[in-house]
Amino acid sequence: MTTDRTTANKQLVEAFIQELFTKGDLAAVDRYLDPGFINHDPPFPGAPDGREGMRQAAAMFHTALPDWHSEVEQLIAEADIVVERFTASGTHRGDLMGIPPTGKVLVLKGMQMFRIQNDTIVERWGRLDEVGLMKQLGLAPG
C-alpha cells in the first residue's frame, strides 16, 4: 500500500533528478540535498564528497552533452527509501573524461537509491553502467 509520505518521497526524488540532470539546474543540489548529504557511491572517480560531487557530475555531463536528459524507468519506494532505475542520454558535443566530442548519442543506464528525511535527500547509493559508457567513448573494448 502506498502512503502519502511514500508518494511524496517518490515525487521529491523524481523532481531532483529532472531538475539537476535533465534541466541542468545546479542549484537543485541545494534545494533537494541535505547539507549533511552522504554519497556512498560518488558519481565519478575523484568526485568530492557530498553535495558538491553531485553538482560536479551534473555540470560535467551537461557541459559535454548539452541535451543530456534522464528518463525514469522505475521508482520504487518503501518507508524513507526511494529506488530509481533510469536511462540517461545525450549528444556528445564537448569534452567528456578527456575524450573530445564525437557527435554520438551516448546512453548511460543506472540505478540509484536515496534515503529521505524531513523532505530532503540525506543519502545516496548508486550503480552506473560505467563500462557501457567507456565502450561508447572508445575507452574499453566493445
- 141 domain-assigned: no
Give the up-direction half-sphere exposure of residue 38: CA atoms within 13 A in the CB hemisphere. 6
Total domains present in the chain: 1
Q: For residues 83 and 81, give the distance between their C-alpha atoms in angstroms, rounded to a whole number.
A: 7
- 119 domain-assigned: yes
Specify the pTM.
0.91
Q: Domain range holding 47?
A: 4-136
Each residue's pLDDT expressed in tens, for the chain with a length of 142 residues:
457 999 999 999 999 999 999 999 999 999 999 999 999 988 777 888 899 999 999 999 999 999 999 999 999 999 999 999 999 999 999 999 889 999 999 999 999 999 999 999 999 999 999 899 999 999 888 7
Q: Torsions phi, psi of 96, nearest 5?
A: -135, 115
Q: What is the CATH number of the domain that holds 38?
A: 3.10.450.50
CB 124 within 8 Å of CB 100: no
- 30 domain-assigned: yes
CB 90 within 8 Å of CB 44: no
DSSP secondary structure letter of residue 54: H
pLDDT in the model for residue 77: 96
- 142 domain-assigned: no
**Cell numbers found for residue 18:** 529532472
Q: For residues 1 and 37, give the distance between their C-alpha atoms in angstroms, rounded to a whole number.
A: 28
Q: For residues 38 and 1, give the distance between their C-alpha atoms in angstroms, rounded to a whole number.
A: 29
With CA atoms as reference, report the closest residue to 118 among 37, 42, 50: 37
pLDDT in the model for residue 141: 87
